[in-house]
Structure 1
Amino acid sequence: MRIAVIDGQGGGIGKAVVSKLRQVFGERLEIIALGTNALATSLMLKSGANEGATGENAIVINAAKVDIIIGPVAIICANSLLGELTPLMAKAIAESPAKKVLIPLNRCNLIVAGVETKPLPHYIDDAIEIVRAQRGDCCV
């Protein structure tokens, strides 16, 4: 199973997601770090991603080549992440046939109704459980 983790700005969310995926699944997943900037990509690679790429073209090309995309909900919103996520990136992610596991952070003027407010690590744990269910692994 190929999973793309997409992040931008400081890359902290992507770093945490990649670390948790490696902790839970070991090497049973192929993780591709896709950063809107080099810092985000670098942090995800250091956290255990198999490979990584940076920028608009990398995200546009790879969004269609993975089974699951994980990132903050802002990755499907044009001009989010302080403008780092271009309209073309958002379109490619939203239109990708991959399942999207979106972490519901209420930033970029996106507020997701019905979502319980909790710390980021809890959302990341929720995202990992969704990946586990998609793989057919039994729950821990």
Structure 2
Amino acid sequence: MKIAVLDAQGAGLGQTIIKKIRKEISLDVYITALGTNAIATSNMVRAGANVGISGENAICSFCMTNKIDSVIGPIGMICSGGINGEITPVIAKSIFNMDCTKYIIPLQKHGIYIPGTRNLQIKDIIEEIVLDIKSNMS
């Protein structure tokens, strides 16, 4: 199974996701870290990603040329200007157009509120994502 994890800034969320996947699924999954900057990518690779890709051009190229099973990231990954402006319109469109499952983590930032997510903690959302990935591996 091939998974991409997208994050920006210092990739705190991306690192948490990758560590949880490695703990729960281990080496049965190939993880590509998609970082909008080199620091984010480096932190995700240190967390256990197999490979890291940095920057707009590289992320968009990856999205257009690779077949993956799923991409995981905060809701900002499909919003132009998301993640404090680090998601460009081209990145958002490339992620959105990928033919895979998109696991969207509904962070309540930038005036985006998704009803029904109010009481969910990030760790519970990540746990649900990992359980779904496991069930799709069979």
State TM-score, norm by structure 1: 0.91
Distance 1:19 1:117 in 2: 23
Q: Normalized per residue, which structure has more helix?
A: 2
Name the CA distance, whole Å, in 1 between partners of 2:107 and 2:132.
17
Tell whether the 8 Å contact from 1:104 to 1:112 is kept in structure 2 after alignment: yes
Q: How does 1:1-140 map to 2 (within 5 A)?
A: 1-64=1-64, 65=66, 66-136=68-138
CA offsets, 1:53-106, max 9 Å, x none?
101112212224221000011100001111100000000001110110111111
Going from structure 1 to structure 2, the CA distance change for 1:10 and 1:60 (only over 3 Å counts) comes to: same
Conserved 8 A contact 1:60-1:89: yes
Unaligned runs of 5+ in 1: none
Show structure 1 runs of 4+ deviating over 6 A: none
Aligned length: 136
Matched letter for residue 11 of structure 2: G
Specify every segment of 5 or more residues in structure 2 that has no aligned partner in the other structure, as ranges.
Answer: none
CA-CA distance at 1:119 after TM superposition: 2.2
- Give per-residue Cα distances to partners, 1:22-63, cap 9 Å, x unaligned: 001111100000001111111110011000010111221222
Identity %: 37
